[in-house]
Structures are given as structure tokens and as C-alpha cells.
Structure 1
């Protein structure tokens, strides 16, 4: 869950957090702009490295992957879209201006993690 560092008073991302983060600069087919993302890495990793591993959240309008079954639907009061676990990025969460929005439910998070595990195995 969202936690402030006692030393710097900055947000430290944690697994299952939905955040806004700056994806620019991007190249090629990489996702762009400031947008929501799901935090995949745990808070210990973020605290140690000052990095966060995320998957982008898209509205999936006209997205050919929507029919593939790989995108994971999330629908919270704050965010309505699809987590794309086929893309995951590591960013400096302070330099990319990460901002906590909400939490994703555990079953959806497990589905995202399983898709990533399937990709890497």
C-alpha cells in the first residue's frame, strides 16, 4: 500500500499499486506519455534501487491485443482500463514522477504476474 519514506517524505511504490508515471521519452513501439501503470515490483526493491517495475494500463480502444485474452481488465473508481502484462518497464520512480492512484484487486494482480511468468519461462 502507499507509504511515505520517513527520510524523504516521498512515495515508494509497492506491488498492486496503480500509479501515474511518465513513460516519455519512448522509442519505437514503446508506450508513451503520462499514464496509469500497475506496479509489479515490491517496495523493498523500490526502496533499495529507487526503481519500479511496471506494466502500462491502456484503454485498449482499437487494440488488437484485447481479443487475445492477455490484457487484464481493471475497473476501479479511479481507473478503468486494461493492464498490458506483455509490456513491462523499469523506471526511476522519482524522476518519472510516480503518483499513487489506487490498488488493484489481488486476483487481477495474480493474473498479471502469471502472464509475465509465462512470458519469461
Structure 2
């Protein structure tokens, strides 16, 4: 069962327009009760495009903290509900301090916390 804060590889295809496409890491952001009882989970896409880290809906993560092979960015502006069968290899789990940053970026993304550019 996936747990909140874990990172898995996920194939985002098929995709349209500016949606994430192909195999990329993704962060589980759904709560653990939902992960236990549902066949679906909610994820945020992870990219190696570090320019995205400047956005208030993004959080940069290091290989040491994430298990990823390079510096990466969790993009809470790219949130997807997916069937858990699409999850592939478990990569790692973010520490609690980073999950708090993820929570803040998620609140900004869905309009629960104000921000200015």
C-alpha cells in the first residue's frame, strides 16, 4: 500500500497538451486512510526542471532526501488521481520537514493559502 510522502515511478501517458507525459517519479499526497481503502491515490508530478522550483506551488527535493537520482522539483500544480496499479517502483520517502513544505505548496495550489508573485 502506498503511503503519503512516498515517491514512486509512474507512467503518466497518455497525456494531452501540457500534462506530464511518460515515466516520471510522483509523490503520494493522498492521506493514508484513503490509500488503504481506495483503489485510487492522489499524486503530484516530480520533474528535474529546477526552474519550476521558483513557483510557490513547487518544492525542490535533494537526492539525499528523496532517493531520486538528481535534484528534482515536486510540482503541486500538477496533481493527478490515478489507479494504484499504475504505480511502479518505490523510490523513497520524504522526511517530515519536506512534507510540511509540500502541504504549504498544496494549499497554495488549491487556493487555501494566499500568495503573490
Q: TM-score range by the shorter chain?
A: 0.7 to 0.9
Q: What does the per-residue CA deviation read over 1:16-67, in whole Å, with 9 as the maximum and x for residues that have no partner?
A: 1011111111111110111101110123212211111111110015x4x333
Distance 2:91 2:74 in 1: 14
Helix, strand or coil at the partner of 2:76: coil
Q: How does 1:57-96 map to 2 (within 5 A)?
A: 57-60=46-49, 63=51, 65-77=52-64, 78-79=67-68, 80=70, 81-94=72-85, 96=86
From 97, 100, 107, the equivalent of 1:110 is 100
Distance 2:34 2:82 in 1: 12
Paired positions, count: 107
Helix, strand or coil at the partner of 1:35: strand
Do the aligned partners of 2:56 and 2:108 also contact (CA within 8 Å) in 1?
A: no
Do the aligned partners of 1:21 and 1:93 also contact (CA within 8 Å) in 2?
A: no
State the TM-score, normalized to the length of structure 1.
Answer: 0.78
- Seen in structure 2, the aligned counterparts of structure 1 residues 52 and 98 have a Cα distance that, compared at 3 Å, is farther
Find the counterpart in structure 2 of residue 5 from structure 1.
none
Cα RMSD, aligned residues only: 1.7
Distance 1:99 1:46 in 2: 17
| Higher share of residues assigned helix | 2
Gaps of 5+ in 2: 113-117
Deviation at 1:119, TM superposition (A): 2.6
Deviation at 1:71, TM superposition (A): 2.1
In the alignment, structure 1 residue 29 sits paired with structure 2 residue 18: yes
Gaps of 5+ in 1: 1-11
